[in-house]
Structure 1
């Protein structure tokens, strides 16, 4: 009997240790279950505003307490960090659907991620606009103005940043959606990169280069980041909306491989669903993002003006095709891109 007792005791001890490790992994120091939202560069303020509302709503509905932590960086770089295990994400809220597709290929996110949530898992859209010095001294109105002699452009790295990728796609589309052919688009994109002052790794770094260090004449950036940048500039910057730009579709997904083993699926799913509710949609609009709910967008038309936005299908089959065609090794970007990082 004694050996069996010892075996049972050892098994119980092993179970207790495993349970303790799982609990420690899933809880922060206060005993709250903790979610990690790995997001792209300029969404710090957005999720800082959204998270307290979700925490309160989740506690009211379930009686359970949850905390949400945030991580921010260039969208593609963040996706690579999740793949490498450097970011232990429960959910990802990235700048491009193609960045999430990269996680699908590694078995971290389910293939049907876009069908699990409203609006194909796009809680809001955005676009790329211009920020210039007040008074617009270089008279920058449209994409061709960016490659005039003497104009210096600030844009993030198209290899690491969703902002950088979207700026490149918007520039390309500004040519081909208005009658130009692909040769003209390639020539224009090469000229645009030649006018770049450098390539920051992410959107916020580029914003600091332009607004704080006062480098460059025009900054290509997310609409929401442009609004934040101008509001913080004490009247020294202004937004210019070009006649045409790209429809950006930042997307969100559950990291299935992570939440399945950590027992946080319910909380993580509730968090992503919350982004499509009225409270989060109002916060989204108030911070310069275009909410997926049309009625909320309509209430914020004064800060989110109508602009001609072309979809990714105007320049590629879909986001995955755009990623492969433009940003894969030896893709279009490699033929015209000469990095000189800051």
Structure 2
């Protein structure tokens, strides 16, 4: 009998110990946009190790990637993201407005309007630049295949579109001519992928098109890959746009999951010297470049850029005018 009692007590102790061990495992879901896969894979690994050292908790960070607009819709529809790291503020605004999952002033909670890194839009062309694509005007020439994703689902595609619009606005100074330019540009687009990574695959792996309108980080990734670096080159246009991908913790979800503290720490980690160096390593321009050695910033060329606020009056106005149903994009693009 004593043996049975002792064994039962031992078993109960093991169950309790196992329960305590599981209690130390924390789950976090980062819902992100298409081209951040490699960046957040390394961020997740390093932050989880730091969190373990600081708290003793084992942190399991899962990531979901896709077109930014599509990802925002998934969160609104019930994908329980603890944090969102999307391509543009309009998509997180949609989560706040339509999903009521975080406050409308979410962008004020972290530095630099909650954008720990920036990017811009460049052209990726095939080695030797056989079509001699130098600037936006070359994209509407007959026979030039332009690869860009769908602005309805992709944040990167919206930055591409707005960069083209900004250039045309300065070049033509006439609204009708700007619309005509964008119409001709999209006539040269043979396929609209749902996200930026899909568009890169179409251009790089499937060999479709002559030029890819790309996030700078996505173009740099292509040139850093041993299998593709000798097949492509980057062209910096005369004018581009400052792309500011923001981040936020999703209040209703973190409170439901009990993950507010770790979710906030995870996003603040992106602003640390290590987080900023990782951003630069993966082709993003650090929001606080003074935290990164100058040698690690030398890969980023000087690019003349407009901002979403200066050229378009902010994302709320740009989203409504250009990408909402019946907006300019719907008038410009006619599916084949």
Residue 177 (structure 2) pairs with residue 175 (structure 1):
no
SS of the residue corresponding to residue 305 of structure 1 reads: coil
Which residue of structure 2 aligns with residue 18 of structure 1? none
Mark the CA change 1:239 to 1:28 in structure 2 (over 3 Å): closer, same or farther: farther
**d(CA) in 1 for partners of 2:123, 2:105:** 35
Match of 1:242 in 2: 237
Q: Deviations over 1:86-113 (max 9, x none)?
A: x220000000000000011021111221
Q: How far, CA to CA, are the matches of 1:126 and 1:277 in structure 2?
A: 18
For 1:60, which of 35, 45, 53 is the aligned residue? 53
Q: Distance in 2 between matches of 1:260 and 1:301?
A: 38
- For residues 50-70 of structure 1, the C-alpha deviation after alignment (integer angstroms, 9 at most, x for no partner) is 111111222222332212110
2:265 to 244, 267, 270: 270
What CA deviation, in whole Å up to 9, does each residue of 1:175-225 have, x standing for no partner?
113452222211111111000011001111111110111010000010000
C-alpha spacing 1:28/1:219, structure 2 compared with 1 (3 Å): farther
Residue 187 in structure 1 maps to residue 176 in structure 2: no
TM-score normalised to structure 1 length: 0.88
Alignment of 1:111-126 (within 5 A): 111-126=104-119
Does 179-188 or 149-158 show the bigger shift? 179-188
The answer to whether the aligner puts 1:102 opposite 2:98 as a matched pair is no
Instruction: For 2:295 and 2:284, locate their aligned partners in 1 and report how far apart those are by CA, in whole Å.
Output: 13
State how far apart, in whole Å, the 2-side matches of 1:239 and 1:301 are. 17
Matching residue of 2:80:
88
Conservation of the 8 A alpha-carbon contact between 1:173 and 1:314:
no
Deviations 1:31-81 (A, max 9, x none): 621100000001000000111111122222233221211000000000000
- Give the Cα–Cα distance (whole angstroms) in 2 for the partners of residues 198 and 90 of structure 1: 33
Structure 2 residue 320 is matched with structure 1 residue 324: yes
Q: What is the 5 A alignment of 1:1-342?
A: 32-85=25-78, 87-105=79-97, 106-178=99-171, 180-232=173-225, 233-295=228-290, 296=292, 298-340=294-336
**Does the 8 A contact of 1:146 with 1:192 survive in 2?**
yes
Structure 2 contact 280–297 (Cα < 8 Å) conserved: no
Q: Secondary structure at the match of 2:179?
A: helix
**Cα distance in 1 for residues equivalent to 2:297 and 2:246:** 22
CA distance in 2, matches of 1:299, 1:309: 22
What is the CA-CA distance between 1:285 and the residue it aligns to?
Answer: 0.2
Residue 15 of structure 1 aligns with which residue? none
Q: Which secondary structure state, in structure 2, belongs to the residue aligned with residue 36 of structure 1?
A: strand
Change (3 A) 1:191 1:215: same
Corresponding residue SS for 2:297: coil
CA deviation after TM superposition for structure 1 residue 28, in Å? 11
Give the C-alpha shift of residue 230 in structure 1: 2.5
Count of residue correspondences: 314
Tell me the CA shift for residue 319 of structure 1: 1.1
TM-score (norm 2): 0.90
Contact in 1 for aligned 2:24/2:56 (Cα 8 Å): no
Deviations 1:105-129 (A, max 9, x none): 0211112211111111001010111
Residues 41 and 115 (structure 1), Cα distance of their counterparts in 2 relative to 1, 3 Å cut: same
Measured at CA, do residues 193 and 57 of structure 1 come closer, stay the same or move farther in structure 2, by a change above 3 Å? same
Cα distance between partner residues in 2 of 1:286 and 1:211: 21
CA contact (8 A) 2:126 2:210 kept: yes
CA contact (8 A) 1:28 1:34 kept: no
The RMSD of aligned alpha carbons is 1.8
Q: CA deviation at 1:313?
A: 2.2
Quick check: 2:276–2:289 contact (8 Å CA) kept in 1? no
